Structure 1
């Protein structure tokens, strides 16, 4: 009994591929559209996700290589933390540091609260001496690259699925129009009374 039920389900799912007097051209087009959609989602999504993950991984590796920690001096005292803020809260303060070319630079950076003017803090700068955020470590970079690649693959799959849904909607509209036209031909015959 269960074998017949499983086989019946398979037959119902694959009816568009078999010869059938009720099958229309739109049904064949829809079957091919669905097949192509899944192939493109699986293959294209894997390729897009892999390429995006590698590109993100290379960018993060470049950031780790380009950015360097440097000691800076606070020119103004860092604001005190309020009682509602947690201990890891940071506030903007004016700092001075030496760039890679030996020039003295000033700017604003986020530093720990309650630091007096003249205190030394560690900041990150890029190869040109501009302030930059701390780059992610290797494990964090791997996780970010994987997340980015997965997001791209899912977005690509959603785009392909949405495009196929639009195609299927147009096919449904065309089928409905054809059924309505055929009903206009057949419907009046059903209204005739038999004697």
Structure 2
């Protein structure tokens, strides 16, 4: 049937799954490869994302168990907000606290800007009494858990999709080589018919 000018050829969806005289075994193999790749990417992405999120959540819970809030006192005046201010609005200043073994310790911790020396603050310590950063909790902990899960899920699913694409690319190269070999066999007789 002749195509009239301005009309587009009809696109046949899922043609690799339908029986027809032009479908080759490699077409069906490619269809299965695409299906298996998509399913595997989805399943592996979800499984690895959930596993990563659970691992991060467990790590944060363990970190919360290992750290302890301890009362401390500012050993110096905290600088105003214009000096060494970070994104949280806090500044670093020297503080004193008592370690679990009863010894007095000093170190630098993040405090509210402009606080005078002698102000009571809360710092976080490990079991040995060393200063550590406060463990994330609430929204920050959920954000870290979700981001870890999403990142790992996308990476794992993307790796599967990339692998499937590479196998599909190799199949196409092989099919092109087969077409080239077949054309070399057919072309001489076809040329004779056309010129003879």
TM over 0.5: yes
Change in 2 beyond 3 A, CA 1:132/1:86: closer
Question: How far did 1:177 drift?
Answer: 1.4
* Matched residue, 1:171: 171
TM-score relative to the length of structure 1: 0.78
The corresponding residue for 2:89 is 89
Q: Which residue of 1 aligns with 2:58?
A: 58
Gapped regions of structure 2 (runs ≥ 5): 1-9
For residues 54-133 of structure 1, the aligned pairs below 5 Å read 54-82=54-82, 89-133=89-133
1:12 equivalent to 2:13? Answer: yes
Change (3 A) 1:127 1:159: same
> What is the alpha-carbon distance in structure 2 between the residues aligned to residue 139 and residue 151 of structure 1?
18
Q: Distance in 2 between matches of 1:132 and 1:26?
A: 60
RMSD of equivalent CA atoms: 2.8
For the structure 1 residues 51 and 133, does the alpha-carbon distance in structure 2 shift closer, same or farther, using more than 3 Å as the test? same
The 3 A distance-change label for structure 1 pair 22 and 136 is same
Deviation readout 1:93-126 (Å, 9 max, x if unpaired): 2222112232222222222222333332221122
- Per the normalisation by structure 2, the TM-score is 0.78
After TM superposition, where is structure 1 displaced by more than 6 Å over at least 4 residues in a row?
none
Q: SS where residue 13 of structure 2 aligns?
A: helix
After the TM superposition, which of the residue ranges 15-24 and 88-97 deviates more from structure 2? 15-24
Judge conservation of contact 1:77–1:114 (CA < 8 Å) in 2.
Answer: yes
The 8 Å contact of residues 88 and 112 in structure 1, kept in 2 or not, is answered as: no
* 1:68 Cα deviation from its structure 2 partner: 2.0
Could you tell me which residue of structure 2 aligns to residue 188 of structure 1? 188
Per-residue deviation at 1:134? 2.0
Take 2:35 and 2:122, find their aligned partners in 1: how far apart are those partners? 56
In the alignment, is the contact (CA less than 8 A) between 1:70 and 1:123 conserved in 2? yes
CA distance in 2 between counterparts of 1:28 and 1:184 reads 25
